[in-house]
Every structure is written in structure tokens, then in C-alpha cells.
Structure 1
Amino acid sequence: MLLPLVAAVLLAAAAGITFNPVAVGLFGGSPPPPTAVVKLAYLLCFATSWGATVWAVFISGVIMFLNLPRHIMGSLRGKVFPACFALTAACTAASAAAFAWLHLPWQAAASAAERRQLVVLVAAAGLDLTNLLVFTPKTLEVVRVRHKVERGLGIGGVGSFHGMRLNTRAAATCAALVEANGRFRAAHALSVLATVASAAGLAAHSCYLAGKLAL
């Protein structure tokens, strides 16, 4: 719970800087325009969310899978992924709020592209929040059950690839393991689908930002 708490504190600080930069005391006697501060908060929050998604899910997750014993990997992911989804949900929501403040996409004069980008950011934040509150807890619950069954069969202390082969062999004669495997696949598939969809939204928004840059 420490990482979500830190993220909440950082977001609260960003909000304080945005709406009362002089009181926060970071800019001396000549604070920058509110728009500049909101842009900074928007970029930092979006970059944090995108970077955390790429690293925690697509890089460190693969490293854990390739190098850790099966059950240790599952236990570590059970700590890393909820913290990651809490951070990305908070940061993506904050970047969506800042984007809406900067572009006012609900007004008639706003472009269709800006409206689409706001929808993309809100959807990505919603997917991460759903992953945090629904899909990941369900997946971790099933993982604990499957680990218990596998320990009873002497499986889980080896690498992931070998452990998967042992699991398949054991499932041929263990109905409890077959049931646990089926529940895990269903829960994990929903979590992976939400993660990939959120990452795709963040990637699409990064393409939008790239088109706005003047280099």
C-alpha cells in the first residue's frame, strides 16, 4: 500500500502547485502561468503511467518469468502488479484531468481529435482501476489456490517453463489442479486483456503527442 500512498501524495502536491503555486513556495515570488504548471503535471503523470506500464508489465514481468522459480515469481508479481496498477490508474486519471483542463474538449469549438484523446485517457485509467479492484484480486486468489495444490504435488520450486510442463503432466491425474488451472486462465486472460488495452491507449496517446511536437 506504500506506493499508492506515495502516488496520492504526489498528485495532491501537483494539485496544490496547480491551483496555488505561491502558497506551495516552489516558485518564489513570480509563479509561472497556471497553464504551464498544468502542462507539467500532465506530462509527468502521463510519462509515469506509460513508463510504469512498459517496465512493470512488459519488461520486469518477463524477467521474473524467465529467472525466478514458479511460485516465487507468482508471489512477487502479486506484490508488483497491484502497486503498478494503482500508480498507473492514478497518474493516467490525473493526466486525463489535466488534458481536459488544457483543451476543454467538451466545448463545441474543440476538435474531434481532442475529444478522442480524452476518451482514450479516461478509458485507460478505467481499465487500470478495474484491473486493480476486480481482475487482479481475482487472479491472485486463484493463484494462491493453485500454488497450494501444486505444493501438495511437489511442483512450484522450479523455473517457469519446467514448472508449466510439470503442471501439465500432473493435471492429467489431478482434478483439483485442472479446476485451478481453468480458473486461473479465465481470470488471468481478463487481466491481460485489460492491461494490453490500457497500454494500447497510452501508446495511441503518445502518438498523438508526437504529432504535436515541434523538433
Structure 2
Amino acid sequence: MSVEGDPGSLVKVVYLLVLSASWGMQCWVTFVAGFVMIRGVSRHTFGLVQSKLFPFYGHIVLCSSFLNLAIYAAYHPRELLSPSESVQIGLFFISLILSALNARWFSPATTKAMFKMQDIEREHGLGGEIGMSSNFEGYKWLREKDPKYQALRKTFMRYHGISSLCNLVSLLCNGANLVFTALLLQSI
């Protein structure tokens, strides 16, 4: 592979640290933190913690995606890209776009709907229980009897689903980029 200048050791270290830290954080937030927290705090506390952490998480993933793409693109001119490098730069771009959408639109929309739902839940004495399966009947009754709550829940579920999908695809893109990096370690 021909490149327009070889990245120095510091650039290589920064690139690998940013990519691996971002992927590790995404794995932790996606597969560990939420599942542990929902079993140990009330639903409303869980929502409050998520609403405080996710803006930072989303913007850190966004910045990491931008840095990874910028570093990679700077040392891989478009005219000289191999097929695997084209895939890798595409994965960085997809991760950047999805993390931007998530950080700037889907995550805030999810949080806004969640807080409105929590206001209605509080009026009905819900939200203080620990775990998602607690008081299932109370939430079912609320969904069936309150059209405003039902509409908010639909909005929440739509945005939460899209946000989760964006996060998961971004995580997979970064994971694939780690694999590419490991296979081509001598030449990031």
C-alpha cells in the first residue's frame, strides 16, 4: 500500500487509543451498565442517570468517530485506497453519521419523551419500583387507560429503538475497524 507520508508513532498511538477506548466504552454502555443499573435502582432513577450520562456518551462517541475518520483519511489518500481501506473508511464514516444523529437528535428526543412519561407515571404512583418487571400490571393499565401516555410511550419506543440501532451499528463499525487495524497493524 502506498501512502502520502507515514504516520509517526504518536499518531499511531493516538489513533489506536481513541478507537479502542471508544469501542470499549460503547461495549460497556451497551452491554453492561444499563443492565446492571436497572437491577439496582428505581426506574425513574435509572432514567435520570441515563439522561445525564447519554449526552456525554453520545458526544464522546461522536468526537472519537470524527478523530478516527480524520486520522485515517489524512494518511490514506482516496486515490491510493485498497478495497479493504475503502471499506474501513466507509465504516468510520457510517459510525460518524450514526453517532452524530444519535447525539444530536435521537437521544435527546428519547429523553424528552421519557421525562413526560415519568410525569404521568408519578401521578399514578409508578416509577419508584426497582427493575423493569416490577408492577407490570400498573404500567399495562396506564397504557390501556391513558391515551396521552400511550402516545408518549410509542414516541419513546420509536426513538429509543432508533437510538439503540444507531448505537449498535456504530459499535459494530468500530469493532470491524479494530479488526481491520489489527490485521493491518503495520500500516494504520
TM-score norm. by structure 2 comes to 0.89
SS at match of 1:161: coil
Post-superposition offset of 1:77? 0.4
Q: Deviations over 1:30-62 (max 9, x none)?
A: xxx852221111111111211111112221111
Q: Which runs of 4+ in 1 moved over 4 A?
A: none
Does the 8 A contact of 2:20 with 2:178 survive in 1?
Answer: no
Q: Is the 8 A contact 1:41 1:95 kept in 2?
A: no
Partner Cα distance (1:113, 1:154) in 2 = 55
Pick one of 179, 183, 187 that aligns with 1:207. 179
Structure 2 gaps of 5+ residues are 1-5
Task: Assess if the C-alpha contact under 8 Å between 1:70 and 1:163 holds in 2.
Answer: no
Residue 85 of structure 1, aligned match among 41, 49, 58: 58
Q: TM-score, normalised by structure 1?
A: 0.78
**2:118 aligned residue:** 147
Percent identical residues: 24
Displacement, 1:176?
Answer: 2.1
The amino acid of 2:72's aligned partner reads: F
Q: CA deviation at 1:75?
A: 0.6
Tell me the distance in 1 between the aligned counterparts of 2:137 and 2:98.
32
The whole-number CA distance in structure 1 between the counterparts of 2:127 and 2:92 is: 39
CA change 1:143–1:163 in 2 (3 A) is farther
Q: Which residue of 1 aligns with 2:3?
A: none
Aligned residue number for residue 115 of structure 1: 86
Q: Structure 1 regions of 5+ residues with no counterpart?
A: 1-32
Distance in 2 (CA, whole Å) between partners of 1:57 and 1:76 is: 15
Flag the structure with more relative contact order, 1 or 2, with Cα contacts below 8 A and sequence separation at least 6. 2
The amino acid across from 1:47 in the alignment is S
RMSD (CA atoms): 1.7
Segment drifting more, 48-57 vs 130-139: 48-57
User: Equivalences for 1:65-144 in 2 at 5 Å?
Assistant: 65-104=38-77, 106-107=78-79, 109-144=80-115
1:196 to 137, 145, 168: 168
d(CA) in 1 for partners of 2:101, 2:155: 18
Deviation at 1:165, TM superposition (A): 4.4
